[in-house]
Amino acid sequence: MPELPEVEVTRQQLQQYVAGSVIEHVEVAEPKILDSPEMLQRLSEISNIHITSCERRGKLLLIHLENTDILAIHRRMAGNLTLLARNVPNELYTRAVFYLLAPNGAEQKLLYSDPRKFGRIGVYHPGELTQKLALLGPEPLQDDFTDAALKHAIGTANRPIKTILLDQSKIAGIGNIYADESLFIAGIHPERYSHSLTDIEIHTLRMAIATTLTSALKHAGTTFGRHKDLFGSAGRNLDYLQVYQRDGLPCKICGNVIQRIRVAQRSTRFCPECQK
């Protein structure tokens, strides 16, 4: 699933290459990807509307329109967005097409493709997303994500720390990849009970989260399966991962074998020496 870095890379590209364009019309080939049946009608109502800006909240893309509506796209497990010239054939598994007229007059199309059809698209009027977005935890790369904010997110829960990192109501945007990577950098075992972390460990973990996400952004995200950017390029962060998908291989720090266990029904990788 695309996590914060992958979604942020797409957001930056949408802001640079799509903001300012006019949505001439929308075609939906698979209604299952819509948030609700009424979204088909709402998508038909955003024809000839300018895109003003592109935002991200957690793993959710928020495309702001000139009529104050918000086009929300959640790629979930395997969704991708691709920007193409209109004369280029659609990708396999294309579920929706946004036909765009760029500010320079170029006729383009923004494809949403998704083989598993788990992603969701919706158009929301002002205020309709407020409650949904309020359920998300703080953004881990913003200045207000302090030691105190992480300590508050952890709270007194008697849960493995990895489950806290995966809980979008606690911290927004972190998934399986960057939870494992952050815990490795912090030297914290993924099954460690969250309430047992000291203030020093909380600080170390917060810094590790920032380091992990910033590095992934620098390398355009991590691609294992379908994730690609707006122009079909894969992320380069795979070569920089320390533990994720490296079970059975030697730890890059100490040489011990990376192990895999299950935490919160998710495959979890860690180094038994570096994360005792």
Q: Label residues 158-189 b or e (16+ Cβ within 10 Å = b).
A: ebbbbbbbbbeebbbbbbbbbbbbbbbbbbbb
Distance of alpha carbon 238 from the chain centroid: 16
Same domain, 179 and 115: no
Domain limit, last residue, from 134, 165, 186: 134
Judged against a pLDDT cut of 80, whether residue 148 lies above it is answered with yes
Is residue 154 situated within a structural domain? Answer: yes
Is residue 99 situated within a structural domain? Answer: yes
The pLDDT value given to residue 45: 95
Q: Which of 2, 5, 160, 190 is catalytic?
A: 2
List the CATH number of the domain containing 72: 3.20.190.10
Same domain, 171 and 129: no
pLDDT of 195-238, one tens digit each? Answer: 999 999 999 999 999 999 999 999 999 998 788 999 999 999 99
Is residue 214 situated within a structural domain? Answer: yes
Same domain, 164 and 96: no
The count of structural domains within the chain is 2
Integer Cα distance of 150 and 92 in angstroms: 41
Judged against a pLDDT cut of 90, whether residue 126 lies above it is answered with no
The residues, any chain, with a CB within 8 Å of residue 209's CB and separated by 6 or more, are: 140, 150, 165, 171, 174, 178, 182
The residues, any chain, with a CB within 8 Å of residue 92's CB and separated by 6 or more, are: 113, 115
The pLDDT value given to residue 224: 82
Same domain, 205 and 266: yes
Same domain, 195 and 221: yes
Mapped onto helix, strand or coil, the DSSP state of residue 6 is helix
Same domain, 102 and 168: no
Integer Cα distance of 117 and 79 in angstroms: 8
Domain limit, last residue, from 134, 160, 195: 134
Same domain, 172 and 106: no
Is residue 201 situated within a structural domain? Answer: yes
Share of the chain above pLDDT 70, in %: 100
HSE of 127 in the Cβ direction (CA atoms, 13 Å)? 0
Q: Which of 3, 6, 8, 181 is catalytic?
A: 3
- 94-101 and 22-28 beta bridge pairing: antiparallel
Share of the chain above pLDDT 90, in %: 95
Q: Is residue 266 among the annotated active site residues?
A: yes
Is residue 276 situated within a structural domain? Answer: no
Same domain, 130 and 154: no
List the CATH number of the domain containing 176: 1.10.8.50
Same domain, 154 and 115: no
Same domain, 126 and 214: no
Q: Which of 57, 151, 252, 266 is catalytic?
A: 266
How many Cβ atoms sit within 10 Å of the Cβ of residue 3? 21
Is residue 275 situated within a structural domain? Answer: no
For residue 203, give the H/E element and its range: helix 199-218
Region 146-154: what's the mean pLDDT? Answer: 96
| 222 or 1, higher pLDDT | 222
Judged against a pLDDT cut of 90, whether residue 91 lies above it is answered with yes
Q: Is residue 276 among the annotated active site residues?
A: no
Distance of alpha carbon 10 from the chain centroid: 9
The pLDDT value given to residue 226: 80
Mean pLDDT lowest among 100-109, 114-123, 218-227, 255-264: 218-227
Q: Whole-number mean pLDDT of the chain?
A: 96
Same domain, 83 and 194: no
Region 152-165: what's the mean pLDDT? Answer: 93
Is residue 193 situated within a structural domain? Answer: yes
Q: Which of 11, 42, 56, 59 is catalytic?
A: 59
Indicate the pLDDT class of residue 23, thresholds 50, 70 and 90. very high
Q: Is residue 91 among the annotated active site residues?
A: no
The pLDDT value given to residue 227: 85
The pLDDT value given to residue 1: 80
Q: Is residue 115 among the annotated active site residues?
A: no
The pLDDT value given to residue 58: 97
Domain limit, last residue, from 109, 134, 159: 134
Same domain, 128 and 199: no
Is residue 142 situated within a structural domain? Answer: no
**Residue 75 is part of which domain span?**
4-134
Answer for the pair 26, 43: CB distance below 8 angstroms, yes or no: yes
